[in-house]
Amino acid sequence: MDNIFIERLLKTIKYEEAKAYGSISHAKKELARFFDRYNTRRPHQGLNDRTPYGSLLWNITLRLRMRYEGRTT
């Protein structure tokens, strides 16, 4: 993964999830919730306002449809 993507993700975490956690386990739990929301519910401008998960499913569906119709990518 390119550095720019990681830097953007860390900036998003900093501004959307910046809070003090009481413990490491609490931080892990809250960050897991954040990543679930980030990947499955939060639209991303760079993905035509799809979620990363939705974009993945769309691409898989498109590739399967193309394979079924005998076209290549």
Structural domain contains residue 41? yes
Whether pLDDT at 46 is above 60: yes
Structural domain contains residue 73? no
Structural domain contains residue 55? yes
Helix (H) or strand (E) holding 52: helix 52-68
- Distance (Å) of CA 64 to CA 40, 52, 53, 67: 21, 18, 17, 5
Instruction: Look up the pTM and report it.
Output: 0.62
Whether pLDDT at 69 is above 60: yes
Print the domain residue range for 10: 3-68
Rg (alpha carbons) of the chain, rounded to whole number: 17
What's residue 18's pLDDT? 72
Structural domain contains residue 26? yes
- Distance (Å) of CA 39 to CA 14, 17, 23: 16, 14, 24
Nearest to 13 by CA among 23, 30, 56: 30
Instruction: Please give the tally of structural domains in the chain.
Output: 1
The pLDDT tens digits of the residues spanning 20-39 come to: 888 889 889 988 998 899 88
Structural domain contains residue 8? yes
